[in-house]
Chain A
């Protein structure tokens, strides 16, 4: 069983690097956080995150509900009757997130509604402009989704403090993230097919960690190609390259 260890400034980046190296999606992998990263104060005492990742063996490990909280689990591996508890935990997180965002939009004097939506790919908390409201909620999305990413980061902190768990809820504003998700996956698949045909690597546009993971996962389902992330935030991008056996 191949297991690799990677370190990076954050757990997400370390996981991403390890998954890309193994050529598996997060669903197909078992991730163990060896050490959390620490920001340090004034840049002193900062430490990088370390993770250990191995390919999930089909029999030994039950599929993780982490990335697909809304998905029916089907047959469960013995001794892991946690699907119900997992779903309840995600519901609780969604309530916490919705409460936080409702109060936030109130502070912003925005006439907006917050709703919880469970989809196959995950549970979203959506912010929608109220019917007939004049304001544009674009201010909550920002340039290339920067403000939306910031809201996601705040929500991550809120959920962590209230539940002690990693946030598994996605924030969205007027379906921006869902539309973007569909587009990113489509572009990744198109690029992967071109790379397989031509044998030449192709770089995707710079993306945030969430979107890069979408690319890794989408390309991971296509044979003959692999992905790697290159560059520094916010210009970090996924490169799709031919896989040599």
Chain B
């Protein structure tokens, strides 16, 4: 799941090397904490949050398929 999120986000940003995904344990289960370069935050969130929503939708489908649920948190 971590690799999938990294792959998706690296394809969306101008600075793929700055993409970091950290797996942490949240209160309600595993969380993938995403960090990107400051200038790329807008690209990951998208117009009216659309890209962020799309990332979460695809990650949810992946989680259901791979049996590994994880909430995506965008730190910036």
Contacts and interface: CB of A to CB of B under 8 A. Distances in A.
Contact of B43 (A11, A41, A161): A161
B12 A161 contact: yes
B19 interface: no
Contact of A157 (B12, B41, B61, B62): B12
A103 B6 CA distance: 12
Contacts, number: 83
Given A108-B4, A154-B8, A9 B48 contact: yes
Interface string A102-125: 011001111000000000000000
Nearest to A158: B11
A147 interface: yes
Given A46-B48, A154-B54, A157-B43, A100 B11 contact: yes
A151 B4 CA distance: 13
Contacts of B4: 104, 107-108
Interface in B1-37: 3-4, 7-8, 11-14
Contacts of A146: 57
B48 A39 contact: yes
A139 B48 contact: no
Contacts of A158: 11-12
A60 B51 CA distance: 37
Interface of A: 9-11, 36-39, 41, 46, 49, 100, 103-104, 107-110, 139-140, 142, 146-147, 149-151, 153-154, 157-158, 161
Which 4 pairs from chain A and chain B are nearest by CB? A153-B54, A150-B57, A150-B54, A107-B4
7 contacts: A41-B42, A147-B57, A150-B61, A153-B54, A154-B51, A157-B12, A161-B14
Interface of B: 3-4, 7-8, 11-14, 41-43, 45-51, 53-55, 57-58, 61-62, 64-66
Given A39-B45, A154-B8, A154-B54, 20 more contacts: A37-B48, A39-B46, A46-B48, A107-B62, A139-B64, A140-B61, A147-B57, A147-B58, A149-B54, A150-B55, A150-B61, A151-B54, A151-B58, A153-B46, A154-B51, A154-B55, A157-B11, A161-B11, A161-B12, A161-B43
